[in-house]
Structure 1
């Protein structure tokens, strides 16, 4: 520890000097503002409920905010002072002072009277109806702070809630739904709850046809004179509310302009419309089939207006992906004395054809770097029903730039055709969807060639037919009743190379032809779109099955195997679950966690899971201190890992934790730890290869045993930098292992071997990962 004492003292001394040096730049008479402190009822022994949080909220509402600090230091202010006054409005000094640094916040900028009013107003809104806040300043040397003393009094509670008592239609609607009120007897007085109650009532009225009603037409009168710190809340409609807001409206004409533009506005309105059901469609070019609007517009002529149909119609027209602009216009018939609305819907289609081109650079932790080029041709409204056809081709190239297998090149070529119908297409059945989200039927065909240099090629053909639908904004389902995959590997005819490949344990399953026909279902849940939540979650669950139901129709060959095109049908079932949690400690400090579990089971026609459906561990989005696909299975480590890492398994368990924090501007940092591994469901005990006659020693330690799983986990840790420009994220992580499962028991923790000063250790252990986007 002695060798650490001097550096630690030096660092501490530097930090103290940096903290003190900020005040020396102040001009005479200037006082550096260090923040606000709130004292609640300091002269009484009584405490209010949740005093700590109330105090924190009050302090956060004071203005101005002091200079940002970390552990009592103000690095941004220090950079501002250190940069000095730039001579030119450009250059590094100007950038440091204006972009990275921040000017000092002075005590003279604090407006006590303004803050007193803001804090008092907040306490009143929380039910402290007798509260008073007074502020003062405290100066010490060249720094000063503001101290606010809040005398709150008792917090008032709700005694009774009274709704309108008249017998009008509007009052009847309000009273019909009063059991849903947010204001409950016995709850504390809370102004935010009162505001939300007005919005709730407005929503109920909108659902009942009151199109022109507004929450501002409601008043909640509070009577605090009844004593015992109780209040009565009386809800009524303001006398100044206009007549138009006090009556329900019905839908009259529904006019749809499917090919609208301002340039053609007058010409379109002169057209003779095509009448379809309740719609009048103004489109002389027949751009869309009229029946499409049955699925997009929920209103019917003569029905009472309601907000649900309004929102669902707009959401469907926006989410269908056929229009670049959507507008719904409700116009009162003749005058506000009438209670009917004409609905005009203006739709501007997207261009029928578009071409997108993208170039992506990649660098992976298995020492492969490369790029991919992708071109996609999109054709919209293919059959005049808002269908979309996407044709894409892509090509990628990778080369290993370090490690023992330097010069091992890899490339991929792929093509895909995907046709999307904005509705369910089910044989002999026409399901109806009444949600705001468009259900989709997707059919796709794809081909991919993956060439691992001179070792082997994988040709993969895939066809899928399925459905995608959203239950609500949080839940999405994907069901593919049929998915067909055919994988045909090819190996160089050189027998020596074949022997060298087959010598790698588990490689034979990679190089087998595979025919997979089955089904899959995927469920996803997320609330990440709610930015105001402190805790956001994401869950994705997937189940795939191959050769079960569809396998009943496949005949057996003379050896009792079910085959298609002389290829044995693969039979398996596979489960995977991915759970993520994002906890906002502060606005710029997030603790992210992920749990990823997977299990595959081969049966019947198959003795092992197909290679393309197995699990892998290690890599840039996985366990970052280990090379991609190099971990496992279990405690096994292939002697060819440094040359060729392609280890796979039937069982996977992975846990990631990451602390993400903002450094400056769009630059973010991260500290992380990853743990996990893969296993075979049953240990590979080897045997004699039936083709080459080679004795396969198997993979000892590769089998999964629940009681041994924790002791066989790999663990790595590291740090990273991210450039988060919102529209894209570039990530650089450096990680190293601290637990290696392939070492003997008792020697797997390698903390004591960590030596950043050793070139040999860095070469063998540091893994650099460059990626696009966050790892999870």
Structure 2
């Protein structure tokens, strides 16, 4: 108890010293500005709606902002004051003083009248039309603050809304869509709503050809003199609106310049165009097939201009990935005297060929470190239809730097070819899509060689044919009707193979030849690009099948098994979902959560999922308190003498929660809790002839699932520079599912001071990007 009191007194003393040091360099007559206080209706017992939120908003609008602080300590000012008064223009002293630190914000910097006007203007915009704000300053010692007294009055509501009389095409469109108005009788007066209503009307007019109309040509007149704190709103067209804005325009000529640059401008314009449908194509090099533009340009000759076609055309031309610059120009014919527009589309292609080279380093939680070199050749517009061919080769190595298998080296070589067509290619059918996103047909072929030193080698061949398309900016689909995987293992000799299998029985099923032929589908939903949202969601769901439909075309052997090239065909259905939620507590703190579920059902030739399709637990992006792939299945624990520890399962359940917060600049911190495990659908009873091959407790039982979850917790640091994220997480287990029931919670055994405990429990994870 005495020690606790001493600690508290010491902390208080530190706070006092820190507080004093922030004002020690102030000159006579200078006062450190500590912020603004907002008093709303202090002479009235009536509270306004959302008073706390209004007060917080008003405080955020006052200027200047006081020096930044954590727990009341103005750390940036402290750093500034640590540096001498004069520092060199360049060097660490200047960096600390002016980049990391910040000079004191003084009370003299506060402009009371300016802030009064800003706060009053905001209140009026929210419907407090009779509000009043008065400000003053209060000085105490070497510090001062601003105090603003706000009298809001009663908030006004909308009594009626009137639209312009239907006297022509323009006013007819406005009245035709007035039932979609954002202005509602009984709602509070809100300036932002009025602005959005003008934008809504402008969008309706743009869809009907009014190219030159602008929201500023609309006026919303508000009459607040009718009494009872009510307003009448009258929507009208300004008399000063130009004639060009008040008439609809149609598309006349559509001129496309597919291989445009400024140097060739005059030459291209002098060419005789190729006539294709409604397009005039100016390109003497025939860079692209004319029919490509049927999928990129939605305008038709003689049709009214509309914003939807405009946006979708631009989005498609940008997203197709063939052009480095896209520009659409609408020009009136005969200087606004008629109602026609010429559309000129200028497209500058990307270079046909490009070569990229990359080197990456890896450090994994299963004690492997290594590097990979990758070379990629990209050929664009391969068949003059904006196709793209990517051919890549890569090679890498990994070595295990600690653990039982220390010194074990792994080498890999990968070759891959991927051909992307910017359209759906479906036999006997030509589907058309009309949204802003380009559908893609993708065919790929790859080969990988993985060598585990003198133990074994894996040769993996994979080919896929499928489709990728977006419904909208949030929803994306990937469907591969054909997916073929063949994995062949080889060994230096039969003796090495048998010794390896006898010491690690799990390898027998993991390294057997595998033939996977089937289909897969993935759906992704995400609104993370909508940064204004306080709550963002990400969802990915997928299903994969093997050996069912395609298995019908494969003959059976004498044992009734379907196979190809002497290898049994793997048969299974695999489901997986990944749901994530990101809640912004404030602009610097986010609470992130994830639920990851997986289930695999093997049948026919197979008793469990093939090793390359199994679920795994543990590692830097998973349950971080356990090493990669060492957790489970179920209550089974890998014996310490096993050099091969990868444990897979047919079922997975994982939950993660993480609180992320900004520390300073690009440095962020996090605290987290991970929970989960994997299981086999049926318990692995092993081979009776091989002692120790059984994995007891590996089977899944719904009633025992929660009792068999592993739980870990920890903290981490992240360098988030937007274009990349480097992450360091430290974690330790607080629940071990492989311990006897009733003894699995081990929180009471945590002992950071014990070297033995740290060696057995503390896991450090280095990662690129966030874990989820």
User: TM-score normalised by the shorter chain: which range applies?
Assistant: over 0.9
Q: How does 1:122-141 map to 2 (within 5 A)?
A: 122-141=122-141
| Selected match of 1:735 from 731, 739, 763 | 731
Q: Could you say what secondary structure the match of 1:436 adopts?
A: coil
Change (3 A) 1:502 1:467: farther
- Equivalence map 1:20-59=2 (5 Å): 20-59=20-59
- Which aligned pairs between 1:68-147 and structure 2 lie closer than 5 A? 68-147=68-147
1:694 to 690, 697, 700: 690
- SS of 2:24 mapped into structure 1: helix
Does the C-alpha gap of structure 1 residues 592 and 641 become closer, same or farther in structure 2, counting only changes over 3 Å?
farther
How far, CA to CA, are the matches of 1:751 and 1:532 in structure 2?
A: 39
Aligned to 1:634: 634
Q: Where does residue 718 of structure 2 map in the other structure? A: 722
Do the aligned partners of 1:756 and 1:762 also contact (CA within 8 Å) in 2?
yes
Contact in 2 for aligned 1:630/1:641 (Cα 8 Å) = no
Specify the SS of the correspondent of 1:23: coil
The alignment partner of 2:301 has SS state of: coil
Q: 1: CA distance between counterparts of 2:244 and 2:182?
A: 27
In the TM superposition, residue 173 of structure 1 has moved relative to its aligned partner by 0.6
Per the alignment, residue 246 of structure 1 pairs with 246
Deviation at 1:553, TM superposition (A): 1.2
Q: Structure 1 residue 460 and structure 2 residue 479: aligned?
A: no
**CA distance in 2 between partners of 1:5 and 1:225 (Å):** 64
RMSD between aligned residues: 1.4
CA contact (8 A) 1:403 1:642 kept: no
Equivalent in the alignment of 1:594: 594
Matched with 1:416 is 416
Could you tell me the TM-score, scaled by structure 2's length?
0.98
The equivalent of 1:604 in structure 2 is 604
Distance 1:12 1:510, change over 3 A: farther
Is contact 1:505-1:638 (8 Å) kept? Answer: no
Change (3 A) 1:7 1:641: farther
Q: Give the deviation of 1:188 after TM superposition.
A: 0.8
**1:167 maps onto 2:163 in alignment:** no
**What residue is the counterpart of 1:579 in the other structure?**
579
Once the two structures are TM-superposed, the CA of residue 727 in structure 1 deviates from its matched residue by 1.2
Range moving further from structure 2, 461-470 or 597-606? 597-606
Shift of 1:551: 1.1
**Displacement of 1:641:** 7.0
1:87 deviates by 3.5
CA distance in 1, matches of 2:162, 2:209: 24
Secondary structure of 2:685's match? coil
* TM-score with structure 1 setting the length: 0.97
Q: Which runs of 5+ in 1 are unaligned?
A: none
Instruction: Return the match for 2:749 from 735, 749, 753.
Output: 753
Task: Give the equivalent residue in structure 1 for 2:154.
Answer: 154
Distance in structure 2 (CA, Å) of the matches to 1:721 and 1:214: 48
Cα distance in 1, alignment partners of residues 484 and 755 from structure 2:
49
1:408-429 deviations in whole A, cap 9, x for unaligned? 1112211110000000000000
- Residue 768 of structure 2: aligned partner: 772
Query: What is the distance in 1 between the residues matched to 2:297 and 2:546?
Result: 40
Q: CA deviation at 1:89?
A: 2.7
SS of alignment partner, residue 98 of structure 2: helix
Say whether the 8 Å CA contact 1:492–1:498 is kept in structure 2: no
CA distance in 2, matches of 1:368, 1:734: 17
Other-structure match for 1:710: 706
Distance 1:278 1:356 in 2: 39
Residues 331 and 142 (structure 1), Cα distance of their counterparts in 2 relative to 1, 3 Å cut: same
8 Å contact kept, 1:617–1:631: yes
What is aligned with 1:667?
A: 667
Unaligned 5+ runs, structure 2: none
TM-aligned CA deviation for residue 496 of structure 1 = 5.2
Question: How far is 1:25 from its partner?
Answer: 2.4
Residue aligning to 2:556: 556
Shift of 1:84: 3.0
Instruction: Give the distance between the partners of 1:25 and 1:659, measured in 2 at CA.
Output: 37
Q: Distance in 2 between matches of 1:644 and 1:426?
A: 45
Structure 2 CA distance, aligned partners of 1:465 and 1:3?
69
Greater shift in the superposed pair: 432-441 or 98-107: 98-107
- Checking the alignment, whether the CA contact within 8 Å between 2:160 and 2:233 is kept in structure 1 is yes
1:40 positional shift: 0.8
Q: 1:648 matched to which residue of 2?
A: 648
Q: Does the C-alpha gap of structure 1 residues 572 and 37 become closer, same or farther in structure 2, counting only changes over 3 Å?
A: same
Once the two structures are superposed, the pairs formed by residues 187-336 of structure 1 within 5 Å of their partners are 187-336=187-336
Alpha-carbon distance between aligned partners in 1 of 2:625 and 2:10, rounded to the nearest angstrom: 32
Is the CA contact 1:624–1:769 (under 8 Å) kept in the aligned structure 2?
yes
1:529-544 maps to which residues of 2 (within 5 A)?
529-544=529-544
Distance in 1 between residues matched to 2:641 and 2:538, nearest whole Å: 34
Deviation at 1:181, TM superposition (A): 0.5
CA distance in 2 between counterparts of 1:615 and 1:489 reads 21
Deviations 1:25-53 (CA, angstroms, capped at 9, x unpaired): 22222111111111111101111111111
Change in CA separation of 1:514 and 1:632 when aligned onto 2, cut-off 3 Å: same
CA–CA separation in structure 2 for the residues paired with 1:480 and 1:585: 39
Does the 8 A contact of 1:505 with 1:699 survive in 2? no
Contact kept in structure 2, 1:668 and 1:721, CA below 8 Å: yes
Q: 8 Å contact 1:580–1:595 — kept in the other structure?
A: yes
8 Å Cα contact 1:503/1:696 also seen in 2: no
**C-alpha contact (below 8 Å) 2:503/2:642 kept by paired residues:** no
For the residue of structure 1 that corresponds to 2:228, the secondary structure is coil
Against the structure 1 CA distance between its residues 641 and 318, is the aligned structure 2 distance closer, same or farther, given a 3 Å change threshold? farther
Structure 1 residue 8: Cα displacement? 5.0
| 8 Å Cα contact 2:506/2:693 also seen in 1 | no
1:686 positional shift: 2.0
Report which stretch shifted further, 489-498 or 383-392.
Answer: 489-498
Say how many residue pairs are matched.
Answer: 772
Partner of 1:17: 17
Following superposition, the deviation at residue 472 of structure 1 comes to: 0.3
Provide the rounded CA distance (Å) in 2 between the counterparts of 1:474 and 1:493. 52
Asked if the contact 1:525–1:538 (Cα under 8 Å) also holds between the matched residues in 2, the reply is: yes
Residue 24 of structure 1 aligns to a residue whose secondary structure is coil
Render the CA deviation track for 1:215-241: whole Å, top value 9, x for unaligned: 000000011111111111100000000
Distance 2:213 2:252 in 1: 19
Give SS of 1:403's match.
coil
CA distance in 1, matches of 2:37, 2:379: 61
| Structure-to-structure mapping, 1:442-481, within 5 angstroms | 442-481=442-481
- SS across alignment from 1:94: helix
Q: Distance in 2 between matches of 1:615 and 1:156?
A: 59
1:263 is paired with a residue of what secondary structure? Answer: helix
TM-aligned CA distance change 1:641 to 1:535, over 3 Å? farther
Q: Matched residues in 1 for 2:110 and 2:619: separation?
A: 52
Task: Output one character per residue of 1:235-286: Cα deviation in whole Å (capped at 9) or x when no partner.
Answer: 0000000000000000000000000000000000000000000000000011
